[in-house]
Amino acid sequence: MSFFDPHILPSDITPKAVFENRRNLIKAAAAGSFGMALAPWFSRQALAASPEKLAATLNAAYATKEELTPYKYVTGYNNFYEFGTDKADPAAYAESLQTRPWTVSIEGLVKKPMTLDIDALLKLAPMEERIYRMRCVEGWSMVIPWDGYSLSKLISKVEPLGSAKFVEFISLADRKQMPGIKSNIIDWPYREGLRMDEAMNPLTLLTFGLYGEVLPKQNGAPVRIVVPWKYGFKSAKSIVKIRFTEEMPKTSWSQFDAREYGFYSNVNPQVDHPRWSQASERRIGDAKGAFAPKIKTQMFNGYGDQVASLYSGMDLKKFY
Ligand code: MTE
């Protein structure tokens, strides 16, 4: 299954020459001459930019200086299983997602449960741009300018009870809008969760946009979570519910296989996935072809200064 095989890359199934010269690739794509040899995420209509701008101010305290992953990869090479399991599927099929009207209900162990319209949620706090490294469990990574604000700002509005220990994020699951829901790979809806202190950490971003524009649908419009020190699957897309619980919530991937996907899923080069190493990653970008050579993965994806203290005293091999 594509999600689980980090070893088969488009560069492996595409003639090497195609990757060596981007200009030729684009020309060839325009002429339609590559047929099936072309990486699937290039050959489809993947790259329709959303024109709607978001006014966000760059927060330099949360902005890695690394080279940004080009927009076309950020929006053309995605995991969003509600639209299919191929990396090109979300860009090809997510157009059917209706992002208005959209509400997010915040419920469970809080003093002030509320259902917020997406446009009210957008205005709840000043919009910031944060440039985060993102590491997928499959072994690739990107550097993405996200637009949003710390989830903690929303959490403080609803006033969690002392008994609230975890936060659960639930994505939309609508068969009519999401063709991937017919597959039973995941027990829909997609669910993810964080411990309360992780959710309150200022790095955890309630995200509405990227590259200064509203989120393209394939990236989880109209609102998603971004948790940059954890593997990408913790960052649930197109969320409709945020629930505060006492018990650790069951999450989609740990339900799929608890041995392979733990609740914490902190990026950790020392803990291998049972079927592959997590010590290195490929940074997706076009400087050296579609996939750059492997680089070393950093503990907590390089965010140790901000988050290592959350896990002091925990055995991260056991709580993976
Ligand atoms: N959220 C939902 N609802 N469904 C998904 O399939 N995939 C996850 C995560 N959030 C997923 C999801 C995975 S595996 C990754 S790597 C990131 O979204 C990818 O986000 P991106 O496409 O914006 O890079």
Question: According to the 3-state scheme, what is the secondary structure of 203-259?
Answer: CCEEEEEECCEECCHHHCCCCEEECCCEEHHHCCCCEEEEEEECCCCCCHHHHHCCC
Write the CB contacts of 13 (distance below 8 Å, at least 6 apart in sequence). Answer: 39
Whole-number pLDDT of residue 292: 67
pLDDT the model gives residue 14: 31
Which residue's alpha carbon is nearest to atom 2 within ligand 1? 237
Cβ-contact 52, 213 below 8 angstroms: yes
More confident residue, 311 or 39: 311
What is the per-residue pLDDT for 287? 64
Q: Taken in order 195, 199, 202, 207, is the CA torsion positive or negative?
A: positive
Q: What pLDDT score was predicted for residue 30?
A: 33
79 within ligand 1 shell (Cβ under 6 A): yes
Is residue 94 scored above 60 in pLDDT?
yes
> How much distance in Å is there from the Cα of 111 to the middle of ligand 1?
30
Pocket probe mutation, ligand 1, options 4, 73, 79, 278, max atoms within 8 Å of Cβ: 79
Q: Give the model confidence (pLDDT) of 222-236 as tens digits.
A: 999 999 999 999 999
CB atoms near residue 65 (< 10 Å): 7
- Identity of the amino acid at 167: V
d(CA 41, CA 240): 28
Instruction: Quote the percentage of the chain above a pLDDT of 70.
Output: 82
Pairing of strands 140-150, 280-284: parallel
CA distance 309 to 305: 8
In this predicted structure, what is the pLDDT of residue 291? 60
Position 246 scores a pLDDT of 98
What integer is the mean pLDDT of 11-26? 32
Phi-psi region at 7: left, alpha or beta (left = phi > 0; alpha = psi -120 to 50): alpha
Worst-scoring range by mean pLDDT, 45-49, 77-81, 143-147, 290-294? 45-49
Q: Is the pLDDT assigned to residue 243 strictly greater than 70?
A: yes
Give distance in angstroms: CA of 17 to centre of ligand 1. 30
The pLDDT, as a whole number, for residue 124 is: 98
Q: Per the structure block, which two tokens stand in for 137?
A: 């469990």
Cβ(94)–Cβ(76) under 8 Å? no
Tokens of 41: 């995420």
Average pLDDT on 57-80 reads 96
48 CA distance to ligand 1 centroid (A)?
19
Q: Is the omega angle on the peptide bond into residue 113 within 30 degrees of 0, that is, cis?
A: no
Q: CA–CA separation, 303 vs 306, rounded Å?
A: 6
The closest residue, in CA terms, to atom 10 on ligand 1 is: 236
Determine the residue type at 198: E
187 pLDDT more than 70: yes
Secondary structure (3-state) at 293: strand
114-154 residue pLDDT tens = 999 999 999 999 999 999 999 999 999 999 999 999 999 99
At 30-47, the pLDDT tens digits run: 333 333 333 333 333 334
What residues contact residue 46 under an 8 Å CB cut-off, 6+ apart? 72, 75, 76, 88, 91, 92, 218
Longest alpha-carbon distance in the chain: 61
> Residue 286's pLDDT is what?
63
Q: Is 69 in the pocket of ligand 1 (CB under 6 A)?
A: no
Q: Which CATH architecture has domain 10-311?
A: Alpha-Beta Complex (3.90)
The pLDDT, as a whole number, for residue 290 is: 55
More confident site: 134 or 291: 134
What does pLDDT average to over the chain? Answer: 86
C-beta of 225 in contact with ligand 1 (< 6 A): no
Q: Could you tell me if the CB of 81 is within 6 A of ligand 1?
A: yes
Residue 7 token pair: 């070893």
Sequence ranges of the domains in the chain:
10-311
pLDDT for 285 equals 82
pLDDT at 12 > cutoff 70: no
Q: Is the pLDDT of residue 107 over 60?
A: yes
DSSP 8-state class, residue 138: T
Identify whether the C-beta of residue 169 lies closer than 8 Å to the C-beta of residue 192. yes
Residue whose Cα lies nearest atom 4 of ligand 1: it is 80
